[in-house]
C-alpha cells in the first residue's frame, strides 16, 4: 500500500513533530466523564473517584508482531487498540482511556499514518474510549506502536488470575483457533503472491478466519453480560497466547489444577474445515493458536444456571485441587498433561 505510486505521499518532515501530532489527533474528542484533560499538556488528567484504576500496556514491532505485507495499516491501528482493551476487560473492568506511542521511519508518508490513525479512531469510537496522549518519535527501521489502556472497576469486581478455587467451572467466551488459522491462510497467500504476483487469491470462504486475524474484537460485552447475570468471576484472563498457556496461568497463579475437556472446546465450523485442509489438529490449534482475544474465566458452581443458556459462553472444564495437575481430558477419555505451546515472544 505504501509503495503505491498513485496514492499521495506527504513527507512527515513537511509537518514537523508538533504539526504531525496535531494532525493525527485532531479528530479525537473527549467523551468519558473520567477524563479531566486529554491531549495537549505534559500529561493527561484522569479522575476515577472511589474506583480502582487498571492500566495495561503493549508494544508492537514491525516484523515481530505484524507484517505490513498483508496487514493494512488501518487494521493494524484497530488491532493495536483492541489487544490492549482486551487486557482491561480481562480484569472485569471498563476501559476508558488509551495513549498511543509510535516510532516511524521516513519510509512512511503522512498518508500511511493517517490510515493507522483511522483504525485507532474507529476502535476508540466503537469501544467508547478517549485517546488522551502518546508520544511520537522516529525509528531507523520499522514501525513501532505502543498502546497503554486505562480503565476502572469497583474493588470487589476486579478479577485476578489468582482467584480460581476448587470446584469452580472454567468458562470461555466465543470460539477458539480462528485467528491463528487466518494467519496461516494469509501466509500461504503471501507465498503464492511471491511466486506469482498476478495470482488473484480467492479468500471468500476464509472471511471469518481472516477477520479474526486482521480485525479482532475485544470482549467488552462479557464483563457487562456477567454483571447483568449477577455473576462475579473468581478469576479471569484474556486469550492472547492460546488456551493452554492461559489455563496454565490461571492454575499456577491460583495454585489449583484443572480438568479441561477436549470435546467442549468451542470451534467454529470454518476452523474445523480449514484444519482438515491444512492437515492440522483443531484441538492443538485452539490450545496453542493464540490471538483469539476471547475471555477465559472461572465461576462458582452455584452460578452455572445463570450462564448455561448463554450462546456466548461455554463451560470447558472444572477446577480441581493442585495435585490433580493441569489436565486435558481427550475425546478418547484419556487424561494428558497440558503444556503451554503458546507463542513465545522471546523466540519469534
Ligand atoms: P512531550 O514533549 O511532553 O513528550 P509531546 O509534544 O510529545 O509532549 O506531546 C504533546 C501532546 O500530544 C501530549 O498530550 C501527548 O500525550 C500527545 N501526543 C504525542 N504524540 C502522540 C501520538 N502519537 N498520539 C496521540 N497523542 C500524542
Ligand atoms: Mg513526547
Q: What is the pLDDT of residues 196-209, one digit of tens each?
A: 888 877 788 899 99
Close Cβ partners of 276 (under 8 Å, ≥ 6 residues apart): none
Which three cell numbers mark 144?
Answer: 513501532
- Cα separation of 219 and 169, whole Å? 19
**Ligand 1: centre distance to CA 7 (Å):** 27
- Cα separation of 56 and 84, whole Å? 7
Percentages helix, strand, coil for the chain (3-state, rounded to 5) are 35, 25, 40
The verdict on the CB of residue 97 being under 6 Å from ligand 1 is no
How much is the pLDDT for 6? Answer: 66
- Cα separation of 96 and 132, whole Å? 10
How much is the pLDDT for 199? Answer: 80
> Ligand 1 pocket: which of 114, 136, 137 to mutate (most atoms <8 Å of CB)?
136
| Nearest CA owner, ligand 1 atom 6 | 18
The verdict on the CB of residue 134 being under 6 Å from ligand 1 is yes
Q: Which atom of ligand 1 is nearest to the CA of 133?
A: 16
How much is the pLDDT for 5? Answer: 56
pTM summary value: 0.92
> Ligand 1 pocket: which of 15, 16, 17, 21 to mutate (most atoms <8 Å of CB)?
21
> Ligand 1 pocket: which of 36, 123, 133, 149 to mutate (most atoms <8 Å of CB)?
133
- Ion ligand 2: residues, CB within 5 A, are 135
Q: What is the pLDDT of residues 131-159, one digit of tens each?
A: 999 999 999 989 999 999 999 999 999 99
Which three cell numbers mark 87?
Answer: 487486557
Please give the average per-residue pLDDT across 285-298, as a whole number. Answer: 96
| Nearest CA owner, ligand 1 atom 22 | 134
Closest Cα to residue 264, out of 234, 240, 243? 243
Domains belonging to the chain, first-starting first, are 12-153 (3.30.1330.10), 169-337 (3.90.650.10)
How much is the pLDDT for 347? Answer: 40
How much is the pLDDT for 348? Answer: 36
**Ligand 1: centre distance to CA 337 (Å):** 48
Closest Cα to residue 282, out of 214, 144, 181, 164? 181
Read out DSSP for 15-59?
HHHHHHHHHHHTT-----TTEEE-BTBSS-EE--TTSEEEEEEEE
Which ligand has an atom closest to residue 101 CA? 1
Average pLDDT over all residues of the chain: 93
Amino acid at each position: 500500500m505504501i509503495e503505491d505510486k498513485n496514492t499521495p505521499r506527504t513527507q512527515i518532515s513537511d509537518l514537523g513533530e508538533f504539526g504531525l501530532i496535531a494532525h493525527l489527533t485532531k479528530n479525537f474528542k473527549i467523551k468519558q466523564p473520567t477524563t479531566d484533560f486529554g491531549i495537549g499538556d505534559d500529561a493527561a488528567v484522569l479522575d476515577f473517584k472511589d474506583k480502582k484504576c487498571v492500566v495495561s500496556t503493549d508494544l508492537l514491532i514491525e516484523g515481530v508482531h505484524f507484517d505490513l505485507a498483508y496487514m493494512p495499516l488501518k487494521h493494524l491501528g484497530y488491532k493495536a487498540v483492541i489487544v490492549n482493551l482486551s487486557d482491561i476487560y480481562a480484569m472485569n473492568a471498563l476501559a476508558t482511556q488509551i495513549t498511543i506511542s509510535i516510532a516511524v521511519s521516513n519510509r512512511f508518508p503522512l498518508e500511511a499514518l493517517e490510515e493507522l490513525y483511522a483504525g485507532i479512531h474507529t476502535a476508540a469510537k466503537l469501544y467508547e474510549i478517549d485517546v488522551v496522549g502518546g508520544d511520537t518519535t522516529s525509528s531507523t527501521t520499522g514501525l513501532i506502536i505502543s498502546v497503554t489502556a486505562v480503565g476502572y472497576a469497583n474493588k470487589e469486581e476486579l478479577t485476578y488470575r489468582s482467584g480460581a478455587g476448587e470446584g469452580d467451572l472454567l468458562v470461555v467466551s466465543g470460539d477458539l483457533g480462528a485467528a491463528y488459522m487466518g494467519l496461516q491462510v494469509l501466509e500461504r497467500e503471501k507465498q503464492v503472491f511471491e511466486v506469482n504476483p498476478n495470482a488473484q487469491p480467492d479468500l471468500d470462504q476464509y472471511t471469518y478466519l481472516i477477520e479474526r486475524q486482521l480485525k479482532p474484537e475485544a470482549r467488552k460485552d462479557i464483563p457487562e453480560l456477567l454483571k447483568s447475570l449477577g455473576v462475579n468471576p473468581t478469576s479471569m484472563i484474556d486469550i492472547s497466547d492460546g488456551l493452554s498457556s492461559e489455563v496454565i496461568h490461571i492454575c499456577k497463579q491460583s495454585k489449583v489444577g484443572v480438568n479441561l475437556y477436549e470435546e467442549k472446546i468451542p470451534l467454529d465450523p470454518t476452523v474445523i474445515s480449514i484444519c482438515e485442509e491444512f492437515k492440522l489438529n483443531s484441538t492443538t490449534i485452539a490450545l496453542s493458536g493464540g490471538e483469539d482475544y476471547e475471555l477465559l474465566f472461572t465461576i462458582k458452581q452455584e452460578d452455572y444456571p445463570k450462564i448455561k443458556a448463554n450462546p456466548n459462553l461455554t463451560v470447558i472444564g472444572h477446577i480441581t485441587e493442585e495435585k490433580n495437575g493441569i489436565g486435558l481430558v481427550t475425546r478418547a477419555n484419556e487424561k494428558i498433561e497440558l503444556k503451554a505451546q503458546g507463542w513465545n515472544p522471546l523466540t519469534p
